[in-house]
Structure 1
Amino acid sequence: MARPVAKDYGTKRQLILDRAAQLFADEGFHRTSVSRVAQACEISKANVYHYYSGKDEILFDILNAYLFGLRDSVFALQDDVKNLLPEDQFAATVTKILLDYQGMDNQHRLQTTVLKHLPVDQQKVLLVYQRDIVRLVSGLIVAIEPRVFENSDEKLRATTMSVFGMLNWYYMWNPNADEQARHKYAAHVCQFCKGGFTGL
């Protein structure tokens, strides 16, 4: 007979992921032990192992949930904005990405610093999510200025990654930004890009 799932299984599992994400981001993935995660969750080390086989599995679950959710959220938006002008689709998408980053600073830091420490097969899963989002934004950039980007993959890649550079490091210099601040910054990025694309 299968062992029944505890009523608080999902809640406790999420607690482990949230506390581990904070510890991995603040103290370093390699310096954080399973015992340290258990201590932060106020549960036993054995209890952590009931949910996860080790730190790699915890890290993968953190990043998989984050990137899968981000990818699906951004793609779901496209149905709502498909009839807008390309620049308005771009603005809505940039804003959505920034809003989805809110409250996810630890997860965001981990994807940029320790994803490479996961097994290659797990990295490949996560990189698919990242590349899907990058391709989407690249397509929107081309739609805004096809004359500039259609025949220059190098220029398109550089521009796309510059946009993500502006978005991905926002939490570093404005960690307490609320929704209003994120909307304002998204508008700033879009205005900056609108003027910059035509000059490339």
Structure 2
Amino acid sequence: MKMIRKLSVAAVLLASAQVATAASIPNMGFETGSLAPWSGSGTVVNNPAMAHEGDWYGQLVGDQSLFQTVSLVAGQSYDFMWRFIAGDYMPFNDASFVITDAGYNLLANVATVGDYGDSGWQYYSWVPQINYNGPLVFGVSNILDSGVNSTLLLDATVPLPGAALLFGSALLGAGMLRRRKLAAKKLEMIAV
């Protein structure tokens, strides 16, 4: 019992330390109902049924982009959720992308989700190697035509609280410790 108490206290302390180091991108969840501080040609949509988190999300359709200047700290993790909905078919390989401090990163295109496919909500995370003060850009591009548009949705992540992860790990550790003790007891009984 003392062991479980100690593990619980350790889990709470580690979780609070983890929360203190969390990094975020300003208005990544678009829950303000506006684009600020984002610029570009995207829109903010209020549709809780389609949003990953909350009621609002950012939407880019056709040849649109959203960007803002961000200050990223080296070693910190930054993340977001994205969903690509292909409104086109091959060979019209519409694409969605993000440009971070590390350069251009393809999120999805028609080739990866299929004709008129949907990626569903996907998690994206990156850790800058150096401090970065510059643009963060999201975009979707029509490739070879402009008759049919694909869509990129953007939203904030829903982090699983660190305490829940650590508490689960503590319970797993306590269970493994108990199994070890039972196995040692069985060995003692066999030896006698």
Query: If the length of structure 1 is used for normalisation, what is the TM-score?
Result: 0.29
Higher relative contact order (CA 8 A, sep 6+): 2
Larger Rg: 2
- Structure with the higher helix share, 1 or 2: 1
**Higher strand fraction (1 or 2):** 2
Calculate the TM-score normalised by the size of structure 2.
0.30
